[in-house]
Amino acid sequence: MAIGETDARIAAVGQAVLAADERTAAFLQALADDAVQVAGDKVFIVRDGKGQDPLTGAAVAVPDGAEDVISNNRMRGELDAALAGLKLFSSDDKLRLAAAKALLKEPDESRLALLDKALAVEKVEAIKAQLELARFAVLLGSSDKATRLQAAKALGENKTPQTKLLLSERLGAETEADVKVQLAASLRAIEESLHWGERLGAMFTGISLGSILLLAALGLAITYGLMGVINMAHGELMMIGAYATYVVQGLFRSYLPGAFDWYLVAALPVAFIASAGVGAVLERSVLRFLYGRPLETLLATWGISLVLMQGVRSLFGAQNVGVENPAWMSGGVQLLSNLTLPYNRLVIIGFAIAVLAGMALLIGKTRLGLFVRGVTQNRPIAACMGVNTARVDTYAFALGSGIAGLAGVALSQVGNVGPDLGQNYIVDSFMVVVLGGVGQLAGTVYAALGLGVLNKFLEGWTGAVLAKIAVLVFIIIFIQKRPQGIFAMKGRSAEA
């Protein structure tokens, strides 16, 4: 196997696989790793400078002048396949499955015997199905027409991008007309199913983006929508939330490594309090002097955002910091062959719904919510009724800021955490609030989801940048028709 022409070596490898034992596997692996040397007609496996006899496994000294065995690319492909073939008989279910999948990618008639042998002994259903697929993939290249027909039909049942590739490759090489028809039919069936996967995938990423936008915009819906304060530093409050997550992660890593997976849960209140605290300070020290002067508020909060950004840069450095997904959030559910829903995105969608529900309760059912609504509707009358409007303003602004902090925790799980994190979302989240209409939670929800889904669908056609531009243009046009957003506040005020 080590010496001679490539063709002869490949043939030898093929034979060795059929009569496989552990030694062969080790030797093949060594060949693939370039760890085999020859001296005359003796062959050695050399690892870490120590020689080993491939037949017995006993350690031997490698004579001087031993030469490396060099394998070309063809040989390498063959070796990989052979190793995969060997793994088919491994006792580990996962290894067997992976091997079956690897063989599906490179069908070759020489492996038919191997596959049959593996099929006969396989007991796990999923692996058996995968093996059968690989077998059909091999049969697809068979010289017998009936076998090819059967294989084409069977492969049509398995709707993955890989089978699609196999079938379309075969379609190009096929000469018989009726096999061609069957191939085409199978291909169509697969394409249809894949199409659905893609569409659902776009839908899901759209909803996922929408849920992130929703989280970003919910805080704004309070500060801008209810209080009428343009807070350009909202994005930076989100950034503070994300950095709070980073800090909590660091603390857990050094003091509670055992509970590391749950750091995210602890990060939620920390981020909320951090952002709400900053928000409350801002409101007390700057914003309350600017109520009723929205343009000045805009500029002042922009200044605040610059200061916060630079502050974070001074504290944590200008580079992005790493925030890890906890173990229970990595991975995903596989729904279709080409549609996997990552857990972190699912969790964020759930989280957005929870925050939304919590906020709706808070605004709709509690005393604080009542005060906030009262002050929003008519500040002087609320004050006359004995509501401490200044305090309500502070609470409401802190609440909006805290929700921005929660959004920051969510963002830290799906994107980079850096000083510029907020800047990327500020235009988008304002668009959501503008589109949704001022003073409305429902509008914010619809606008966030609508924009998210619209954005992702357009991305499929036009690419990310043009999709974003198209969405912005759409919003500008939409505002023409409905300056008050999707849900207009009904009122008699002439100056909206």
Partner 1 sequence: MHKIQLPSTPPLLSGKGWSAFIVALIAVCAVAPVLNLLVPAGSVFHMSDYAVALLGRIMCYAICALAMDLIWGYTGILSLGHGVFFALGGYAMGMYLMRQIGRDGNYKSDLPDFMVFLDWKTLPWHWSFSDSFIATLVLIVAVPGLVAFVFGYFAFRSRIKGVYFSIITQAMTFAAMLLFFRNETGFGGNNGFTDFKRILGLPIATQEMRMTLFVLTGLTLLGFFLLARGLVRSKFGRVLQAIRDAESRVMFSGYSPLGYKLTIWIISAVMCGIAGALYVPQVGIINPGEMSPANSIEMAIWAAVGGRATLVGPIVGAFVVNGAKSWLTVAYPEFWLYFLGGLFIVVTLFLPDGLVGLVKKLKVKGAKS
> Site map for partner 1, 335-374, x if CB under 8 A?
----------------------------------------
254-259-260-266 Cα dihedral, nearest 10 degrees = -100
Contact 118/131 with Cβ under 8 angstroms? yes
> Site map for partner 1, 268-297, x if CB under 8 A?
------------------x--xx--xxxxx
Q: Among 465, 490, 492, 493, which residue sits at the site for partner 1 (rule: CB under 8 A)?
A: 465
> Site map for partner 1, 209-248, x if CB under 8 A?
---------------------x------------------
The alpha carbon of 277 is separated from its chain's Cα centroid by a whole number of angstroms, namely 32
Residue 492 engages partner 1 in binding (rule: CB under 8 A) = no
Cα dihedral sign, 414-415-416-421: negative
Kindly tell me which of 54 and 235 has the beta carbon lying closer to partner 1.
Answer: 235
DSSP, collapsed to helix, strand or coil, labels residue 418 as coil
Element (DSSP H or E) covering residue 45: strand 42-47
Report CA Rg, the chain. 32
Closest contact distance (angstroms) between CB of 437 and partner 1 is 11
434: how many CB neighbours lie within 10 A of its CB?
Answer: 21
Question: Which residue(s) pair with 417 in the sheet?
Answer: 321
Closest contact distance (angstroms) between CB of 126 and partner 1 is 45
Residue 306 engages partner 1 in binding (rule: CB under 8 A) = yes
DSSP, collapsed to helix, strand or coil, labels residue 50 as strand
Residue 483 engages partner 1 in binding (rule: CB under 8 A) = yes
Kindly tell me which of 259 and 469 has the beta carbon lying closer to partner 1.
Answer: 469
Kindly tell me which of 346 and 489 has the beta carbon lying closer to partner 1.
Answer: 489
Cα distance between residue 343 and residue 340, in whole Å? 9
Closest contact distance (angstroms) between CB of 490 and partner 1 is 18
- Residue in 446, 464, 447 with CA at minimum distance from that of residue 455: 464
Kindly tell me which of 177 and 477 has the beta carbon lying closer to partner 1.
Answer: 477
Residue 18 engages partner 1 in binding (rule: CB under 8 A) = no
Kindly tell me which of 2 and 212 has the beta carbon lying closer to partner 1.
Answer: 212
Residue 333 engages partner 1 in binding (rule: CB under 8 A) = no
Kindly tell me which of 309 and 382 has the beta carbon lying closer to partner 1.
Answer: 309
Element (DSSP H or E) covering residue 197: helix 177-220
Distances in Å between the alpha carbon of 475 and those of 44, 135, 194, 432, 468? 70, 53, 32, 9, 11
Site residues (CB under 8 A) for partner 1?
230, 286, 289-290, 293-300, 302-311, 313-314, 427, 430-431, 434, 465-466, 468-469, 472-473, 475-477, 479-481, 483, 494-495
